[in-house]
Amino acid sequence: MAKHALEDLSGAPAPPAYGTDETLLDLLAELTPEERLRWNDRMATTILELRNGFAAAELDHAARPPGRERS
Amino acid sequence: MASPPQSLTTLLARLAASGADFVLVGGLAAVAQGAPLTTMDVDVVHRREEGNIARLVAFLEEVDARYRGRPSGQVLRPTREALLGGGHHLLTTSLGPLDVLGAIEGGRGYEELLSDSIAVEVEGQRVRVVRLEALAELKRGATDARDRLVLAILEDTIRRRQPR
């Protein structure tokens, strides 16, 4: 998804055509190598927790009759 | 400032606990469903209705949300008026980076995405995540080179998940 900062509000430069979020790149560039590693660890933990959530949701969905998904 | 939590699911769970309606989209939604992509932030599409915006603004104040990409020392916070629009709000918070999107590809907002989402429980809260197939569909009309690349990865991931 090409994300566009609200230039008039954030003062961020216009995003390039390939959609890189430069505000995020700047944020990461300010981190030390240790902080970047910690950030990666956080993302890995986040993904693992969400994948566990998905696995549980799929099991729950499979156990229910059609049309009975929890909202 | 206190260290951020170990996982960005805390950000998602706290947002859900605030009572604000949103769906998780973007890279994290795709990676969570098995797509081999990298992602560094959390993207959500929020419901643009007055009551929901009030809950969202209260939450964003609580986590000290501010726009990224501002010149040093210039703090700008998201407002109710801005969040009612369809724009993208690229924020940093005390719990991690959070992109709050009024609408995404093709102008799709919360209501259009909700039916293509699945409820996932994280940290005791139910979070709606847009399905991989819907994420791929969103990318099909994209002209952006990066989006085309992501589409190819999403389609491969969907194919691999289907029973053979």
Give B133→chain A minimum CA distance, Å: 15
The whole-number average pLDDT for the span B154-162 is 90
Inter-chain CB proximity A5 and B67 less than 8 Å? yes
User: B28 and A51: CB-CB below 8 Å?
Assistant: no
Structural domain that includes position A57? 32-65
Q: Which of chain A's residues have a Cβ under 8 Å away from the Cβ of B133? A: none
Provide the pLDDT for residue B164.
60
Rounded CA-CA distance B100/B87 in Å is 9
pLDDT digits 0-9 by tens, B45-83: 999 999 999 999 999 999 999 999 888 888 999 999 999
Subunit contact B120:A56, Cβ cutoff 8 A: yes
- The count of structural domains within chain A is 1
Domains, chain B, in order of start with CATH, read 9-131 (3.30.460)
Report the residue from B26, B32, B139 with minimal CB separation from A47.
Answer: B32
pLDDT per position as a tens digit, A7-59? 445 444 444 444 678 888 888 888 898 888 888 889 999 999 999 998 898 88
The answer to the question of residue A23 being in a domain is no
Q: What is the pLDDT of residue A70?
A: 53
Which residues, listed in sequence order, are joined to residue B128 by a DSSP beta bridge? B23, B119
* DSSP-based helix, strand, coil % in chain B, nearest 5: 40, 25, 35
Judge: A26–B144 Cβ closer than 8 Å, yes or no: no
Q: Given a cut of 70, is residue B94 above it in pLDDT?
A: yes
Report chain B's mean pLDDT, rounded to a whole number: 92
Q: What is the rounded distance in angstroms from the CA atom of residue B41 to the CA atom of residue B129?
A: 15
In a domain, residue A51? The reply is yes
- Tell me the average pLDDT across B139-164: 86
Question: Hey, what are A8's tokens?
Answer: 């008039």
Does A3 map to a domain? no
Tell me, what's the pLDDT at A22? 85
**A2 domain residue, yes or no:** no
Q: Is residue A15 part of a domain?
A: no
The whole-number pLDDT of residue A11 equals: 45
Could you tell me which residues are beta bridge partners of residue B99?
Answer: B43, B90
Q: Is the pLDDT of residue B14 over 90?
A: yes
Among candidates B42, B43, B75, B46, which has minimal Cα distance to B58?
B46
Best residue in A4, A8, A9 to probe B by mutation, most B CBs within 10 Å? A9
Assess if residue A20 is contained within a domain.
no
Residue-by-residue DSSP string for B31-79:
HHTT------SEEEEE--SHHHHHHHHHHHHHTT-EESSPPTT------
User: Which A residues, 4 through 33, put their C-beta within 8 Å of a C-beta on chain B?
Assistant: 4-6, 9-13, 17-24, 26-28
**Could you tell me if residue A49 is inside a domain?**
yes
Q: What pLDDT sits at residue B47?
A: 98
Predicted confidence at residue A5, as pLDDT, reads 57
Name the pLDDT band for B145 (thresholds 50, 70, 90).
confident
ipTM of the complex: 0.79
Give the pLDDT band of residue B97 (cuts 50, 70, 90): very high
The percent of residues in chain B predicted with pLDDT above 90, rounded, is 74
Instruction: Return the structure tokens found at A27.
Output: 């944020």
pTM for the full model? 0.86
pLDDT of residue B73: 84
What pLDDT does A10 receive? 47
Whether A36 has its CB under 8 Å from any CB of chain B: the answer is no
Residue A16 pLDDT? 42
Residue A36 lies in a domain: yes
Residues contacting residue B152 through CB under 8 Å, at least 6 positions apart? none
Answer with the residue of higher pLDDT: A10 or A61. Answer: A61
> B131: closest CA among B121, B141, B117?
B117
